[in-house]
């Protein structure tokens, strides 16, 4: 099948791995930004096939995982109201709040609808004019155009019973926060191909110039990831720091201009709190003043929210790449997909979910690798 079979070809994978092993002469630490890439790496054991000393650090590229607990608790409070139909993508249903999750709200009588497109929520609002329909609009730049189109359409049709609870986050400010951290170990990035398909590669040019770090736009199939790793390591070994496109079948420098125009019409940039990380300046989107009437945060008074993170959960350290999931004492014991303490255990892009699903249950023995050199 075109664009599927050839990107799972074991002979091509072996060739890429041979090139990687022939290139690497010293330890390096790379970060794959996207949770989808993390799952590809763990599912296929790619990290275990790399040369000794080459470490894949799992980044915060799981929008469900970084949605702040306060926003989740607000969503739960809104969803529990009797006149509300709460629509969400399925991966938010089991994400734990301070005391419960959307699945529990549904079991207690809340009207929770799993949708496959935000436009489905608009149709629900059309069909239920007597109800308030709220869509949980989270995600990176990838899902923002469809969410923006949803609000645009609701305003155009005058759907006064529709609103959106927004928690959009942006990738470039997160990379800046990682590189500005005094604890940073990352020396090269695999950028998320689907984000770049929307926003284009050009948003990463200032990051490469400022931090002198390789950024390689990478896809999601096994050979995509291997090629992204190969190109990043080749730059590091040669002392180069460039923006490269290893996903040209989907990504251009300009991106999807029409989608960008829709996003810029509906959303404004704002500071955003990231769960387990903290507030990153100018790292999110909120509804602009023109669409403020459709902001569920303003429409529903649920201010009496007291958040409480699990004392056992170390998902914040996982999201920052400081530890691997199985280095958390709760992993696989008190924290499982059936009883999650944090979002990374239940999200389809969460690193903890990947490690649990593909049986990475033990902490590997220390390899005694040398300290990582500077990328500059």
Return the percentage of the chain with pLDDT > 90, whole number: 81
Please report the pLDDT score of residue 8 as a whole number. Answer: 81
pLDDT tens, position by position, 219-277: 999 999 999 999 999 999 999 999 999 999 999 999 999 999 999 999 999 999 998 88
Residue 22 has which token pair? 């022939």
In the chain, the DSSP E strands lie at 28-34, 54-61, 84-88, 111-114, 132-139, 162-169, 188-192, 215-218, 243-245, 267-274, 278-287
Architecture of domain 65-170+255-299: 3-Layer(aba) Sandwich (3.40)
Confidence of residue 359 (pLDDT cuts 50, 70, 90): confident
Please report the pLDDT score of residue 61 as a whole number. Answer: 87
List the one residue out of 303, 305, 331 whose CA is nearest residue 317: 331
Please report the pLDDT score of residue 162 as a whole number. Answer: 98
pLDDT tens, position by position, 270-321: 999 998 888 999 999 999 999 999 999 999 988 777 788 888 999 989 988 8
- Whole-angstrom Cα distance, residue 1 to residue 199? 28
Confidence of residue 366 (pLDDT cuts 50, 70, 90): very low
Q: Would you say domain 5-62+174-245 falls under CATH 3.40.50.11750? A: yes
Q: Over 50: is that where the pLDDT of 41 sits?
A: yes
What residue segments make up the domains of the chain, in order of their start? 5-62+174-245, 65-170+255-299, 315-357
Residue, of 191 and 183, whose pLDDT is higher = 191
Bridge partner residues of 84 (DSSP): 132
Confidence of residue 362 (pLDDT cuts 50, 70, 90): low
List the one residue out of 246, 237, 240, 245 whose CA is nearest residue 23: 237
Alpha helices in 140-189 (DSSP H): 144-157, 171-180
Please report the pLDDT score of residue 364 as a whole number. Answer: 45
Query: In sequence order, what DSSP letters do the residues of 292-343 get, joined into one string?
Result: GGGBHHHHS----------SS--HHHHHTTSS-GGGSTTBTTTBBTTB-SSG
Please report the pLDDT score of residue 365 as a whole number. Answer: 41
pLDDT tens, position by position, 85-141: 999 999 899 999 998 999 999 999 999 999 999 999 999 999 999 999 999 999 999
- Are both 5-62+174-245 and 65-170+255-299 of the same fold? yes
pLDDT tens, position by position, 200-220: 999 999 999 999 999 999 999
Q: Over 70: is that where the pLDDT of 2 sits?
A: no
- DSSP secondary-structure letter at 5? G
Confidence of residue 25 (pLDDT cuts 50, 70, 90): very high
Q: Over 70: is that where the pLDDT of 1 sits?
A: no
Global pTM reads 0.90
Please report the pLDDT score of residue 183 as a whole number. Answer: 84
Query: In sequence order, what DSSP letters do the residues of 199-211 get, joined into one string?
Result: H-GGGGHHHHHHH
Q: Over 90: is that where the pLDDT of 188 sits?
A: yes
Please report the pLDDT score of residue 372 as a whole number. Answer: 37
At residue 92's C-alpha, the angle toward residues 87 and 93, to 5°, is 80
Q: Over 50: is that where the pLDDT of 346 sits?
A: yes
């Amino acid at each position: 099948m075109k664009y599927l079979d050839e990107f799972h070809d074991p002979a091509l994978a072996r060739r890429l791995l041979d090139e990687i092993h022939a290139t690497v002469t010293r330890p390096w630490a790379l970060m794959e930004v996207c949770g989808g890439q993390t799952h590809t790496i763990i599912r296929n054991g790619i990290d275990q096939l790399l040369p000794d000393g080459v470490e894949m650090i799992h980044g915060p590229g799981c929008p469900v995982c970084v949605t702040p607990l306060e926003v989740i608790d607000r969503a739960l409070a809104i969803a529990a109201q009797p006149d509300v139909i709460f629509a969400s993508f399925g991966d938010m249903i089991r994400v734990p709040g301070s005391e419960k999750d959307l699945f529990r709200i549904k079991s207690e009588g809340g009207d929770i609808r799993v949708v496959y497109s935000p436009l489905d929520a608009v149709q629900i609002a059309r069909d239920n004019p007597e109800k308030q329909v709220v869509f949980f609009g989270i995600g990176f730049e990838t899902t923002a155009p469809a969410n923006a189109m949803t609000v645009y359409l609701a305003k155009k049709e005058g759907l006064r019973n529709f609103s959106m609870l927004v928690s959009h986050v942006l990738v470039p400010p997160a990379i800046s926060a990682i590189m500005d951290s005094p604890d940073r170990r990352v020396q090269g990035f695999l950028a998320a191909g689907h984000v770049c398909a929307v926003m284009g590669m050009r948003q990463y040019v200032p990051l490469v110039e400022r931090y002198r770090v390789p950024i390689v736009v990478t896809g999601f199939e096994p050979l995509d990831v291997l090629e992204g790793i190969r190109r990043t390591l080749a730059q590091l070994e040669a002392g180069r720091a460039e923006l490269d496109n290893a996903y040209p079948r989907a990504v251009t420098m300009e991106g999807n201009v029409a989608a960008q125009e829709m996003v810029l019409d509906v959303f404004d940039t704002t500071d955003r709190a990231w769960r387990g990380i903290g507030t990153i300046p100018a790292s999110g989107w909120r509804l602009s003043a023109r669409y403020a009437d459709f902001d569920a945060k303003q429409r529903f008074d649920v201010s009496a929210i007291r958040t409480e993170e699990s004392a056992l959960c170390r998902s914040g350290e996982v999201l920052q790449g400081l530890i691997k999931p199985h280095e958390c004492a709760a992993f696989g014991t008190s924290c499982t997909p059936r009883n999650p303490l944090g979002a990374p255990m239940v999200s389809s892009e969460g690193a903890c979910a990947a490690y649990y699903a593909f049986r990475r249950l033990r902490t590997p023995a220390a390899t005694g690798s040398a300290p990582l050199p500077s990328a500059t």
